[in-house]
Amino acid sequence: MKALISSRSALILIVIAQFLGTSLWFAGNAVAPEISSLLQNSDILASITSAVQLGFIVGTLLFAIFSIPDRFAPADVFFFSSILAACFNLLIPLLPLSLGTVLVCRFMVGFFLAGIYPVGMKIAADYFEKGLGTALGFLVGALVLGTGFPHLLKALDLNFSWKLVLWTTSGLAILGGAMLGFYVPSGPFQKRNSKFDIRLIPKLLRIPALKSAASGYFGHMWELYTVWAFVPVLIVYWREKTSLEASDSLLAFAVIAIGGISCALGGIFSRRYGSRAIASVSLMGSGLCCVLLVFFGQFPEWAWISLVLIWGMLLTADSPQFSSLVAQSVPAEFRGTALTLVNSIGFAISIVSIQLGQLLLNWFPVDQMLASLVIGPLLGVFFFQRFYRAFQ
């Protein structure tokens, strides 16, 4: 029997556990250069990234279909998902190294991350009936900081063994899972959905409030991961270089990591202005930054660096607020299902966006390609407001 804890203590543990668990997400990116060298294959980074993303999409979809986070204790789901994700991560250095083994293991890591990231948000929602936007701001901020770590490692040029990186991240994930599994009981606002209903997802998709929040989130996801994927390319292009140097990696890390700070700040401001306002301003602001890209390439370096840092802040500040609105748009017993479903669709959209962006680079420079991402924020804001009016 877990001892009862305060909402604040629970949030601290959830944020730490989320950060430790999601360290698995980009562990493959951090060791990709070494694995590429061992396999004598220079093109595996995109495959490793896509394998994790696809695994996460499949995992969240199945978790949503079977309502896993709502039918079972979410802390237990988080714990067992952390263990299984860590085990598949460890299989890479333990098994004979091959591209197939790496991709399968990374896919399974992504699959079980479905029981970590959205389920962590579900646990937070069970503790915060009010102030959820603030709680999720810190939670998503921890994930964003973890996202930028591979760039920081490259910038510092630390000579870590690739096996040590995988062992360490697996150990951290197990520690994070244990923190929630053993010390965080079910929240006071949790309501268990005790039965499986195949018709649940179609029912949820007809809720206008959920459609509103999800539409904004999808517009945000069209932009987010494509920007993160191509920011290093943009920096090299504007600096008129041919390859990424340590200083470029450090700037790429700053562009991503500053979004973790804005997530937390957006969460704090949401107490006063509400999640809808913070999400709307952030999404519109990031769309404006897309458009400004086509003008800033000829500006002094300090000007375009300022632009991409501001963009990095606006890119992410809306994410926890949209997730908060998703959680609040459905009955408490369906929160986990709604969050995992919206995550699944959102990450599927991000893969389409990344692949389309890569294709467009055959005809357009990277700044113009990234400027075209404005379609995501535009449509996101439009449908966010349109479906919102439907339930007023």
**Residues 50-70: pLDDT tens digits?**
888 899 999 998 988 888 888
pLDDT (0 to 100) of residue 6: 79
Residue 275: pLDDT band with limits 50, 70, 90: confident
- CA–centroid distance for 249 within its chain: 20
pLDDT tens digits, one per residue of 230-274? 888 888 888 776 555 667 778 878 888 898 899 989 988 988 888
How does residue 197 score in pLDDT terms, banded at 50, 70 and 90? low
Ordered DSSP codes for 213-238: HHHHHHHHHHHHHHHHHHHHHHHHHH
pLDDT tier at 2, thresholds 50, 70, 90: low
Instruction: Reply yes or no on whether the pLDDT at 192 is more than 70.
Output: no
| Share of residues in the chain with pLDDT > 90 (%) | 22
- Please indicate whether residue 332 or residue 168 has the higher confidence score (pLDDT): 168
What is the overall mean pLDDT for the chain? 83
**Of 112-116, 192-196, 283-287, 338-342, the least confident:** 192-196
Question: Using CA of residue 293, residue 346, residue 150, residue 101, what is the dihedral sign?
Answer: negative
Q: Is the confidence at residue 227, as pLDDT, over 80? A: yes
Nearest one of 5, 31, 284 to 161, comparing CA atoms: 31
Q: Would the pLDDT of 77 be above 70?
A: yes
- How far apart (Å, rounded) are the C-alpha atoms in residues 259 and 316? 5
- What are the φ and ψ backbone dihedral angles of 194, each rounded to 5 degrees? -85, -10
Burial 278-294 (b: 16+ CB within 10 A, else e): bbbbbbbbbbebbebbe
The better pLDDT of the pair 277, 42 is held by 277
- Asked if residue 139 lies in contact with residue 121, where contact means CB atoms within 8 angstroms, the answer is yes
Closest CA relative to residue 144, chosen from 318, 390, 391: 318
In terms of Cβ atoms closer than 10 Å to its own Cβ (0-12, 13-18, 19+), residue 76 is middle
Distance (Å) of CA 63 to CA 59, 68, 70, 180, 186? 6, 5, 10, 19, 19
Q: Return the number of other C-beta atoms located less than 10 Å from residue 164's C-beta.
A: 11
Domain residue ranges of the chain, discontinuous segments joined by +: 7-188+197-390
CA atoms within 13 A on the CB side of 64: 24
Distance of CA 321 to CAs 42, 265, 327, Å? 38, 11, 10
Is the pLDDT score of 87 beyond 90? yes
Residue 126, pLDDT score? 81
Place of tokens 């700044």: 367
**What is the rounded CA–CA span in Å between residue 323 and residue 224?**
15
Asked whether residue 220 carries a pLDDT value surpassing 60, the answer given is yes
- What are 66's two structure tokens? 């079977």
CATH superfamily of 7-188+197-390: MFS general substrate transporter like domains (1.20.1250.20)
Q: Residue 165 — pLDDT band, cuts 50, 70, 90?
A: confident
Of 52-56, 152-156, 198-202, 215-219, the range with the lowest mean pLDDT is 152-156
Cα 325 from Cα 132, distance rounded (Å):
9
- State the amino acid at position 7 in one-letter form: S
pLDDT digits (tens, 9 = 90+) for 305-362: 889 999 999 999 998 898 888 888 888 778 878 888 898 899 899 888 888 888 888 8
Q: Residue 96: helix, strand or coil by DSSP?
A: coil
**pLDDT-based confidence at residue 81 (cuts at 50, 70, 90):** very high
- Nearest-angstrom CA–CA distance, 114 and 85: 10
Q: Is the pLDDT of residue 174 over 90?
A: yes
Please give the Cα distance from 311 to 299 (Å, whole number).
16
